[in-house]
Structure 1
Amino acid sequence: MTDYWSLDSVLAEETIVPVRFNFGARGVAQVLDAGTSDHDVQAGSKINAPLWLAVALTRRGMSTLCPPEEYQERFRRKMNAGAECHNLKGRCPYFYDVGNKCNEFMQDPSLSDFLSHTYASRYRELVSRGLSTVSGEDMLELQSKLSFEELAIFEAGRDSVARVELWARGARARSSTLGLPTRKRTYGARAC
């Protein structure tokens, strides 16, 4: 999420994450949590905020970023059991970007390992299913489970296969015409 002009970066930073306030904050409770009747956020209160706000508050020391549910131990065990089966798009569309951004503040080496392992195991599935011929229904089912980062990789793989097939067909068509002998005709030239 380092590209300022990237729409995906902006959308990833809109992901809701939990934060715990280190200090009280006056008059902002209803803005941060529309369901509350309180006006003030008490010290130690846990609220859900967009990632961009949670990062800003955490950098200033006003709050502590808590790990979202998708990065807690319970979900990690489920993903380690079969990462390719889970629908990341429904849980956290920008799973890897949000995880890496959260980990900047949580400094959890096991989270980095978890993200790497999850990506590697899901990547194998992307390569095997994405580059092979898949029926329309299977492709839609697969695409519905992918995070936006994985979907970009999937589409790039499908595009590269299509380009190679197009190139191969063009190369075959050109090679069949290249095999014919050509005669050079000279008009108006005299023989010596």
Structure 2
Amino acid sequence: MSSYYDIDDIMMEDEFVSVVFQVAANGVGLLDPGAETNCVEQGSKVELPFWLSHELQLRQAVSVNIPACFNQKTRKEIQADAACVDLRNRCPYFYELGCKIAPLVGDRTIGSFLLYAFTGRYKEVLSKAHSAAIAVAPKFLTLFTKEETHLYEAARSSMAAFKKWRLGGPRFERASILGRKRKPND
């Protein structure tokens, strides 16, 4: 429940994933806008929000397919140069969706792929946060996922606070209690 009110978690769960219906379903014509009837046949492939596909899979009504942002093409691009891949365009909540979709699709390689992608991009995010000028930031900021953008902003604010401190910001002060002398015990 810790992420119940988190807007990023709500937006991540609204990402569309491809599912295949294992059973026929009546009264769900809105799920497939191209359908002429108000039902979905068994074996139909439909794009659903993650939250709905997760619930339907728990009820064994659908099987979830691996999203396109975790396919072999993306994996090869990240292995070639992780820092240059536009993950935001593929899925703005790449890491969070990957963590939640891995158990649903049964692909054990997604976890190691996410770790590889994050470690490959982590150094680049921090180095740009500490060295890039503010005018340059928007050019590469469009490649970052939401998680990486939060990391970038945290690094920028910590670097700004450090520079302020180094240039004469508030220094550590001696506590007033340390200036008092103890009374001798007789």
TM-score range, shorter chain: 0.7 to 0.9
Residue identity over aligned pairs, in percent, reads 31
The Cα offsets for residues 120-178 of structure 1, whole Å up to 9 and x where unpaired, read as 00111111111113351x3101111100000000000000000001111125x879xxx
Query: Is 2:28 the partner of 1:28?
Result: yes
The corresponding residue for 1:155 is 153
Structure 1 56/152 Cα, relative in aligned 2: closer, same or farther at 3 Å? same
The corresponding residue for 1:93 is 92
The corresponding residue for 1:53 is 52
Q: Which runs of 5+ in 2 are unaligned?
A: 173-186
The corresponding residue for 1:167 is 165
**Matched residues in 1 for 2:168 and 2:31: separation?**
58
Q: Which moved more, 1:85-94 or 1:33-42?
A: 33-42
Q: Which runs of 5+ in 1 are unaligned?
A: 176-192
Structure 1 2/36 Cα, relative in aligned 2: closer, same or farther at 3 Å? farther
> What secondary structure does 2:92 align onto?
coil
Structure 1 164/36 Cα, relative in aligned 2: closer, same or farther at 3 Å? same
**Matched residues in 1 for 2:58 and 2:77: separation?**
31
**Matched residues in 2 for 1:174 and 1:27: separation?**
67
TM-score with structure 2 setting the length: 0.86
Aligned-residue CA RMSD (Å): 1.8
> What secondary structure does 1:170 align onto?
coil
Count of residue correspondences: 172
**Matched residues in 1 for 2:2 and 2:33: separation?**
30
List aligned pairs for 1:125-136, cutoff 5 A. Answer: 125-136=124-135
List aligned pairs for 1:37-48, cutoff 5 A. Answer: 37-48=36-47
The corresponding residue for 1:71 is 70
**Matched residues in 2 for 1:43 and 1:161: separation?**
55
Bigger radius of gyration, 1 or 2? 1
**Matched residues in 2 for 1:63 and 1:13: separation?**
17
> What secondary structure does 2:25 align onto?
coil
Query: Which one-letter code corresponds to 1:77 in the other structure?
Result: K
CA contact (8 A) 1:100 1:112 kept: yes
